[in-house]
Amino acid sequence: MTVFALIIINKAGGLIYHRTFHEGGLNKISTNDYLVLAGTFHGVHAITARLNPIPQQINRNSASSAGIMTRPEPPSGLEVLESENFRLQCFSTLTGIKFLLFTDTTQTNVDLTMRRVYEMYTDYVMKNPFYQLEMPVRCELFERKLTSYIREVNNR
């Protein structure tokens, strides 16, 4: 069980962070290719989100019976992409930032790992006064905490 890599895409489809944790899991591609991958994934995600525009009927009924107005969940779009050798999990935040986690196909609890990565992003990137929104992430603390967390997950 291994986490191979993490990619963060901003809401405009630009690559703001990419990091490989495990040598040999994925082929090395150039930074330029990463940028193309991010942009392409962003487009595909946008299209898949358009494919399921009908909100779930059950949720709406239970909400109206309780008398509370709730906003329907936005269509999530592409969530998982699986190939023979890796599994790509996508998590899209409410603000439109996408976290892509490349893992082994047997990896379990990816949701949990994703949640923790998102927490670290909110702590060490969003609370950092030197980070500019939508720009590439260069935060030493984020880097350090992420490394130690993923190492822990990979050694589990």
C-alpha torsion sign, points 57, 60, 64, 66: positive
Residue partners of 12: CB distance under 8 A and separation at least 6: 42, 134
User: What amino acid is encoded at 147 in this protein?
Assistant: T
Residue 82 in the binding site for another protein (CB under 8 A) = no
The interface region with another protein, picked from 16-24, 76-84, 97-105, 126-134 by CB under 8 A, is: 126-134
**Contact status: 91 vs another protein (CB under 8 A):** no
- Segment 97 to 116, residues that bind another protein, using CB under 8 A: none
Query: For the CA atoms of 40, 44, 47, 51, what is the dihedral angle to 10 degrees?
Result: 180
> x-or-dash pattern for another protein, window 136-155, by CB under 8 A?
--xxxxx-x-----------
Stretch that binds another protein, among 4-12, 20-28, 33-41, 132-140 (CB under 8 A): 132-140
What letter does residue 106 receive in the DSSP assignment?
T
Residues that bind another protein (CB under 8 A): 123-124, 127-130, 138-142, 144
